[in-house]
Amino acid sequence: MTDTTTKETTPIIVGVVMGSNSDWEVMSEASKILQEFNIGHECKVLSAHRMPDEMFTYAEEARARGLVAIIAGAGGAAHLPGMLAAKTIVPVYGVPVPSKYLRGVDSLHSIVQMPKGIPVATFAIGEAGAANAALHVVAMLAVNHPELANQLVAFRATQSEKARSMQLN
Ligand code: RP5
């Protein structure tokens, strides 16, 4: 999973990071969306508690490396998104990963209750949150990239069409 990218020629502009490889099942949903929109990204384990020095280095180098967004997922005492946000002005999108005992409510509360002044845009618990974080990054990039905007409009239209054709048996 480490250093997963879209295409080698596509510049990496989004970081998808997570506290453990056990988060990958959820966080891969973000990567799938970024791949679908051909947005260069990397996927890495970056644990706030188990790799604090690497986490700070990643945040400190993010801007200079050209990252425009960091999607960070973690479960339980989910400090990764908030601590990244504390160390960089690159926008951080937090994804609460479901946890074993509290089912991700702990993760959600850990990520969403940031102190005033250090924002983390926090998404839903689990796969929907991971996918939506990536879609939000796409939407932000689409503001200045008309082709991406058209692709996003088409993505929405496909979803609508699927919903319209749903059958109840
Ligand atoms: C968090 O602890 C990770 O983000 C993960 O959601 C959770 C459990 O990690 P493992 O014990 O599965 O490595 O740091």
Query: What is the pTM assigned to this prediction?
Result: 0.95
Which residues are CB-contacts of 92 (< 8 A; sequence separation ≥ 6)? Answer: 69, 70, 71, 72, 81, 82, 84, 85, 119, 120, 121
ipTM over 0.90: yes
- CATH number of the structural domain 14-164: 3.40.50.1970
pLDDT at 98 over 80: yes
pLDDT band for 8, please (50, 70, 90 cuts).
low
pLDDT digits (tens, 9 = 90+) for 123-145: 999 999 999 999 999 999 999 99
pLDDT digits (tens, 9 = 90+) for 35-57: 999 999 999 999 999 999 999 99
User: What per-residue confidence (pLDDT) applies to 2?
Assistant: 47
pLDDT at 5 over 80: no
Which residues are CB-contacts of 52 (< 8 A; sequence separation ≥ 6)? Answer: 83
The protein residue whose alpha carbon is closest to atom 9 in ligand 1 is 20
76 in contact with ligand 1, CB cutoff 6 A: yes
pLDDT band for 169, please (50, 70, 90 cuts).
confident
| C-alpha of residue 50 to centroid of ligand 1, in Å | 10
